Amino acid sequence: MALLLALLSLPASATTLWIKSDPHYTPAGFFDIHICHWPDRPNFYLMLFSTTRFTEVEGVEVFYPDGRPLAPIDMNRYRIVKRAGKPEKHVFITNIALPANPPGGWYRATIRMKDGSTHHARDRIEIHDMPMATGLLPAPDSMNIPLPAQLSWQPVAGAKHYQVFIWDKWQGGKEIFKSKILDEPRLILPPGLLQRGGSYKWRVHARDVNEHVELGDFNHGSLSPVVLFTVAD
């Protein structure tokens, strides 16, 4: 989605040319599918369709590379994205368990509009397993540690990018920070984000690529278990 925001700064002719060359984009919206490795469930497909034309879309059906139906995207399950000066966007997300031998190749989405028209998008998936981040520092259940200046973890095989999420236990588990996409296995913490006497949870999302013209937002992603630590007074 960050890539879509970046496109808004390009000249109109350049934006049109780029979108036409990227098979994830259609006049109706953006399609992406990737494989997720999370600690609390078997690997699964995450299918995503985002659009500002949500009132016009009848449905989205996703197909395997050989043309067999995979599943529809649930049009009743979505996030609302509001941006200043831009149209409201709905991001529809559906998770589907991976079959025993998931095929690699070009997955296709057919977007059906209420006026009877259709649009087609594609996303290529390469089959492999993305390990979860390990060696997180502060380590799990670290108690009364000095106020940290950074969070770090071991490099993940196959991952080129990372994103960190932090929650504050004393604010009812509220998410207080989501990093930008990181290219190194560490996060320099913004000054003042963490407080002495605080209790925090954090985890790392690893991904193989970021906004690739064939592989989409990313191809494979993993999510580490949540790590708890407390900061000394």
Cα atoms found within 13 Å of the Cα of residue 66, Cβ hemisphere only: 4
Domain membership flag for residue 133: no
Give the per-residue pLDDT at 16: 39
Residue 38, domain member (yes or no): yes
CA 139 from centre of chain = 25
Q: For residues 19-39, give the mean pLDDT.
A: 87
- Is 42 contained in some domain? yes
- CATH of residue 211's domain is 2.60.40
Q: Are residues 86 and 149 in the same domain?
A: no
Residues 70 and 151 occupy one common structural domain = no
pLDDT tens string 85-143: 999 999 999 999 999 999 999 999 999 999 999 999 999 898 888 899 999 999 999 99
pLDDT of residue 18: 38
Average pLDDT for 59-78: 97
> In which domain, by residue range, is 227 found?
142-231
DSSP assignment string, 103-154? PPEEEEEEEEETTS-EEEEEEEE-----PPP-S-BSPTTEEEE---SEEE-P
Q: Which of 31-35, 176-180, 218-222 tops mean pLDDT?
A: 176-180
Domain count, the chain: 2
Mark whether 13 and 86 lie in a shared domain: yes
Q: What is the mean pLDDT of residues 31-47?
A: 93
Residue 47: predicted pLDDT = 95
Q: What is the mean pLDDT of the chain?
A: 88
Look up the pTM and report it: 0.80
- Domain membership of residue 25 (yes or no) is yes
Interatomic CA distance for residues 95 and 105, integer angstroms: 19
Q: Based on the fold, state whether residues 9 and 101 are members of the same structural domain.
A: yes
Element of type H or E holding 61: strand 57-63
Tell whether the model's pLDDT for residue 17 goes beyond 50: no
Please enumerate in sequence order all residues whose Cβ is within 8 A of that of 201, keeping only pairs 6 or more positions apart, or say none.
166, 167, 169, 173, 226, 227, 228
Considering the domain architecture, whether residues 113 and 183 belong to the same structural domain is answered as no
Looking at residue 129, its pLDDT comes to: 82
User: For 183-220, what is each residue's pLDDT tens digit?
Assistant: 999 999 999 999 999 999 999 999 987 654 434 455 78
Indicate whether 136 belongs to any domain.
no
pLDDT at 6 over 70: no
Are 22 and 83 found together in one domain?
yes
CA distance 128 to 213: 19
Residue 14 has pLDDT above 60, yes or no: no
